[in-house]
Structure 1
Amino acid sequence: MKTYVIGDLQGCHEQALSMLERIRAHAAAAGVAEPAILFAGDLINRGPDSLATLRHVRKLAMASGGLIDSVLGNHDLHLLAVAYGIRAEHKSDTLADILHAPDRDELIDWVRRRPLAIQTPGHVLVHAGLLPQWSADQAMALAGEVQDMLRGPDETFADFLAEMYGNLPDQWSEDLQGADRLRCIINAMTRLRFCTADGVMDFKMKESGKAEEGSGLMPWFEVPGRRSARDTVVFGHWSALGLTLKPNLIGLDSGCVWGGQLSAVCLEDRSLLQVQCPEFQEPSNKKKA
């Protein structure tokens, strides 16, 4: 078996097709006809063709018998919130084609039922990160709590969407309950970049791969004693950090939509596949220059 994880697509459909071709060729060269393909979330938004991207990934996943899937990213959750009238579209969103598509309901329902985390032997995949207090197995159990709510009755789901946004609580506690508990889990797994040594999350720093000196912050994966360090955590979400390959860490957001690359890694042998991408969105640091 070969398992490939692809970084944030963000609506870059042509680049996604190119990457899928490269993955199939790479797997075929190893004698694998049907590789497992996982996406690190943020399938849509900001890129030029969110509708075609979402349709294609959904079609592949539904025909794969479980070999192809995606975790939820913050942009995927944003789509759900906009679709249910909880949030307005942002100026930079490229979601309108999905929201007005004839198959809108089927697409939204498929996104809603995606997992927040996926575990494979020795690896756990999330969009953003894991809090230092969580082992991989605990993270999977917590992700399951969120998934049960997302896949539950429409009324419960819509009620939670209205409470999903907010930066608090910014630290995990087993005593958290209800919407606070689920919000903390979602924020960690879909938004986390920096936190303190005690696991207090920071959501202000977005455009850097390094914390400000004296801030007391560090990348979540550098917290001493992080309980998930026994497994390799695979994630996207952090284009400013860029491609990151370490013994127990794989970061795959290499800025596809910002004129970087779309990256994928084979988990079994760490083979790296990349596709160069046009600059569909101008990075904010470039705008300030």
Structure 2
Amino acid sequence: MSSYEDRDGKIWMDGKLVDWRDANVHLLTHALHYASSVFEGERCYNGKIFKGVEHSKRLRKSAEMLDFEIPYSVEEIEAAKYAMLEANGWTDAYVRAVAWRGAGEDMGVSSMKNPVRLAIAGWEWGNYYGDAKMKGAKLDIAKWKRPSPETIPVHAKAAGLYMICTMSKHTAEAKGCSDALFMDYRGYVAEATGANIFFVKDGEVHTPLPDCFLNGITRQTVIDLLKEKGIKVYERHIEPYEMEGFEQCWLTGTAAEVTPVGQIGDYTFEVGALAKDMVETYEKLVRA
């Protein structure tokens, strides 16, 4: 694949479609210096974006948490996504909407005078973790922790919150792992760098309570699917030592979809029947 800055295609930017290579911002864009940026990752299956409206609503909500307003309605954002997909001839693709404070009169921490910008790009993307859907992903345990809600807007899908994700994923990949698992500021199991996590024990499912990290749309979808199957789901604080007693594990996220986990640090898990069933059930749902 060529660099993401050097491709053919169209990107929707500030109300119009532009050539891929022309979708640029100035060096003094506020978001580049101060992380005043929010984004969404979505997938389009068979010409339909899965839960697109929910993603657009969350994008606007994330911006509000960072003290700015996106100058487009949910309906306008949805129309822009589909315009981008149509312009590129895609029916199956990953969709990335990003909003940020641009370059303007302010170039310090404050940026009230700067315009808020919005762009929507996309690309064709396969399995985020490669062949892990068959054999199970291997995760490192990150040295960084998910921060307290008193320190940062933890429920926003904000670019700045991913700094430790990038660092932790790089460390994990250097160890031959696909990803890394975070604990939160209290020491409880939290999430992976870009995905929520689920565990199975005795036919019941346990997942960390999202009180200091993003309550993913895919996470919520999978919980609903489990409950429809009559499977008990516990949303709770999970101590790290409990991983020794869990039998199965999987990750959820727009990019990850549903991906089984075979190992986290020294803990191992079976890619069992329920994990495989959730992979298949989710796949059927998004392509229905």
How high is the TM-score relative to the length of structure 2? Answer: 0.29
Whose strand proportion is higher, 1 or 2? 2
Q: Structure with the greater relative contact order (CA < 8 A, sep ≥ 6): 1 or 2?
A: 1
Whose helix proportion is higher, 1 or 2? 1
How high is the TM-score relative to the length of structure 1? Answer: 0.29
